[in-house]
Homo-oligomer: A and B are copies of this chain.
Amino acid sequence: MSDEPDTGERISEAEHAVMTALWNRAPLTANEVAEAVGSRAWSLATVKTLLSRLVTKQAVTTEPDGKRFLYSPSLAREAYLGGESRRMVDRLFGGSAAGLFAHLAESEALTPADLDQIEALLREIRK
């Protein structure tokens, strides 16, 4: 029904790490992605598998570059964050962002810096 980045396909945690690398800098070769996600200590094979799966899920596109491929994110980071954070707020707090906020506040999960920024954002919105 459309050729947009398929938002319906769920992206797993490991895949998300790959997406993050590509969101930070793209296009990248498989090797570069492997380096970029270095913290995970994945074998190159693993990274290739994840990239393939992401291509299948249409979250990443490829562009031939000589004998290899350059990978770029097709799914925008914003769209992904939007979907995921909405899912989470829905699932955990019945869709109430205020519920989430209340929880973070109660559990001391908010740093003073967070509070300042949030306050500033609120003022901005209310302006």
Contact = CB atoms under 8 A, between A and B. Distances in A.
State the copy count for this chain.
Answer: 2
A97 B122 contact: no
Interface residues of A, number: 36
Contact of A114 (B97, B105, B111): B97
Interface string A7-25: 0000001001000000000
Interface in A74-120: 78, 81-82, 84-86, 88-89, 91-93, 96-98, 100-105, 107, 109-111, 113-115, 117-119
Contacts of A107: 78, 82
The interface residues of chain A, by DSSP majority, are classed as helix
A111 B95 CA distance: 10
